[in-house]
Amino acid sequence: MDGNGRWARERGLPRTEGHREGALAVQRICAACGEQGVDFLTLFAFSSENWSRPQTEVKALMALLEEFLVGQREELMQRNIRLRAIGRIADLPASCQEQLAQSIELTRHNSGLTLVLALSYGGREEIVDATRRLMQKAASGQCSPAELNNALFAQHLDTADLPDPDLLIRSSGELRLSNFLLWQLSYTEFYISPVLWPDFEESHLREAIAAYSQRQRRFGAVPEG
């Protein structure tokens, strides 16, 4: 969800206002995904690298996260949205962890869109954490190196019970992965939008889905015809 800072700068506003507008875009896109039958939506809300930003901005982002978690509970329930989270959640402030846990528990039986928030998340960190879990199991005799394969490794990632993404949308014209879901994006289709995230609307989502629908996904196989 790139472009919050640029959106604010272009308007002579503090970066925090860009993040606030970005949160409104999250609400719009969650509603649109639910209406268009999308099953899973993962949002890169706060990366492990974002902790290095100025403390005033980090505090504002954490406050905005907590505000979102509390303020959107009714809408999550009304829209039948199930909330999940991935990342090093223990790094978040205690109050954010508490509100996140409450929202996850409240929505755990919802059967519509699954909204996954990536918080204090980094793809490399996730792979390291999964490797550490496997090494601990191997050390205790619960598994052996000979058993290791892609499926077993994936079971130890944060996304163990989630499908790999079909489509990655990057807003504001960014062309890099930025340490996001490095394992899971192996065969994901990319869609790059020039639109800054606070300006991202349902129409832009539909454009991305329409472009995806024209792709031929071969997963390394020889194309038909």
pLDDT computed for residue 222 by the predictor: 60
pLDDT computed for residue 11 by the predictor: 97
Catalytic-residue membership of 158: no
List the catalytic residue out of 4, 50, 110, 179.
50
pLDDT computed for residue 217 by the predictor: 77
- For the chain, which ranges sit under pLDDT 70? 220-225
The CATH number of 4-209, from 3.40.1180.10, 3.20.20.80, 2.40.50.140, 3.40.50.170, is 3.40.1180.10
Tens of pLDDT, residues 9-63:
999 999 999 999 999 999 999 999 999 999 999 999 999 999 999 999 999 999 9
Catalytic-residue membership of 149: no
Angle at 128 (CA atoms; ends 23, 116), nearest 5 degrees: 25
Domain ranges in the chain are 4-209
Q: In 3D, which of 38, 111, 104, 45 has the Cα closest to residue 72?
A: 104
Query: Global pTM?
Result: 0.94
- In the chain, alpha helices (H): 4-10, 15-35, 55-71, 73-78, 94-107, 123-139, 150-154, 202-213
pLDDT computed for residue 216 by the predictor: 85
